[in-house]
Structure 1
Amino acid sequence: MVSLNNYVKKRNGVPLGHPKSLGNMFKRSLGANSFDLFWVHWNPIWNYYLNKYIYKPLKRVCHSYVALVLTFGFSGFVHDLAGLLIYTELSFLFTIWFIIMGVLAAVFKRNKIYYKTQKKEVNYGFNVILIVSSFLLAKCILNGIYFFNT
């Protein structure tokens, strides 16, 4: 298994703790020419541990695309638990949102969908639109769940 330091350097182009690390992460992730590739560069430290302890073990027992979606769901749930500490209420917004993004990432990866542009700024727009759209869909789903439970 590759070390965390090497993993971060591969994803960000600079070593762990380097002053340009955060900027490189944003540029590489937002500038990625596919939604699944966005996640290759986003938050490499968190990505390293999710890959090592969640995705790879899941991949041994289910299809890699299912493992990918479940890993996104796990990450969302951890984010929801952090929200629980702040808001003292578990909403599952992040879990739903991350599952939607996981499905999108799996679809992009499975079908080898790439943006047909060479301009990173256009890729920024595509990736942000997918993230915001999936968030809005998650909010609609959550509102629908709350609506039907009242």
Structure 2
Amino acid sequence: MNWTVGAYVAYLLIAVPITVWVASTLSHNGRVFLADVFDSNEQLADAINRLLVVGFYLLNLGFVMLYLRGGGAVADLTGLFETLSVKIGIVMLVLGVIHFVNVMVFSSMRRRGRADARRAQIPPTMNQPYASPYPPQPQR
């Protein structure tokens, strides 16, 4: 076995468990957030959570597999560590970016839902431009 094959094996032994750990952590802790986004509809939150986990695995493990060959040949132990640090660092950055995008999307959905709920609570006269929320004052 040469150094390049060793780098491949070490990369997969590190990148796949990191991906699994991040997915399980996000799934477990994101459930409460999703329940809030979907107005305490637990079934919908659980279904979306499972779909997000499947998509997360497909996207990230696909990236890990495609990125396996990146980096070229490894000549020695130093090269192995340098290659691993770059590859794992990039995988972690990709995981972070994907998480950030998911949080941004669901935060915007949450804000929009709350704004819609607030608009639904305002009396119809308040939605009219220049309508006063106070009763008319008697004329003197």
User: Normalization by structure 1: what TM-score?
Assistant: 0.38
User: Normalization by structure 2: what TM-score?
Assistant: 0.40
Q: Return the index of the structure with the highest Cα Rg.
A: 2
